[in-house]
Structure 1
Amino acid sequence: MVVYNPIWLQLIFYIGIIAFPCLSGYMFYLAYEAFSKTGISGTGIFLFLGVAVAYISYIGLLLAKFVPAKVIFDESQFTVEMQGTKCSYAWSDIASIKNYENSQILKLFDSNGATIYVVDHMTPGYKPFAEKVNEVIGI
């Protein structure tokens, strides 16, 4: 099985990765402007939106390196192809995972704490890959 973002989805991810930090900054700017005109009562919604979009930006930055990655997996192993390099891992090489359930990002770590792969739920092939990871980790 293969987990891979087609070009059109990569483009959407990259637009979001660039746009969301800008949008967050703009929300904070609007909060500043509202504060100078109406005081604290006018800033709440802009601050809330700024923080929410900043969180989405953080998740996007976690994912950014792995947007063009391609993962090929079977019952015994998985291979991460990224920027012309291939790294093969046995399923047992996954020491831990971090599942960002709200943003639906799955992050895999090796025994040294290094990130092996980060995948979004929209990536084609995500569901069978996530099921296999959860089976291996024992979730």
Structure 2
Amino acid sequence: MVSHSKSIQISAYFCAVILIPVYAFGSMALFYATYKSTLNPDILITLFITTVAIVVSFFGYKSMYLLIRFIKTIKGSFEFDENGICFNFQGSSNSYSWSELKNSKNYPSCQVFCLIDSNGNHIYSIWEYASNYSQFRKLALEKIGI
């Protein structure tokens, strides 16, 4: 079974409390700095600050999106075998075959693997520190190539 321990859940909530405001307001601060730099007559400085603001904002918003999806499903768990997975969340369980999970994605920069069904619906986000993660990833690599 793959699940996140209580200590991982607490650290994820703690990180969310700190990082979500940083991701949201940090990007706004960068764009404000970009706006202020347009008053500078040196165009190269303005272009550099604009480029940095766009790159950092893209990464920040992507990370915030993945963190929010992770927090939504952190209390869930799933069991896996050669046929697929059985996802358990809030008292209900859903089974998925490996072929239904071909749309799943790995985000190495955030250390997260997202299980996505064939309709594009997010099922579960798994942090690398979840129990039995490495065994799951070996089987997922073998079955769906991700």
Distance 1:104 1:48, change over 3 A: farther
List structure 1 segments (4+ residues) > 6 angstroms apart after TM superposition.
none
Q: 1:130 is matched by which residue type in structure 2?
A: R
Is 1:3–1:124's contact at 8 Å kept on the other side of the alignment? yes
Gapped runs of 5+ residues in structure 2? none
Distance 1:42 1:59, change over 3 A: same
Aligned pair count reads: 136
Gapped runs of 5+ residues in structure 1? none
Q: TM-score, normalised by structure 2?
A: 0.72
Match of 1:56 in 2: 60
Aligned counterparts, 1:9-20, within 5 A: 9-20=12-23
Aligned residues: CA RMSD? 2.6
Aligned counterparts, 1:58-137, within 5 A: 58-67=62-71, 68-75=74-81, 77-81=85-89, 84-92=90-98, 93-121=100-128, 123-125=129-131, 126-137=133-144
Return the offset for 1:64.
0.6
Is 1:3–1:70's contact at 8 Å kept on the other side of the alignment? yes
Per-residue CA distance 1:35-61 (angstroms, 9 max, x = gap): 212442222443233223322322321
Q: Could you say what secondary structure the match of 2:40 adopts? A: helix
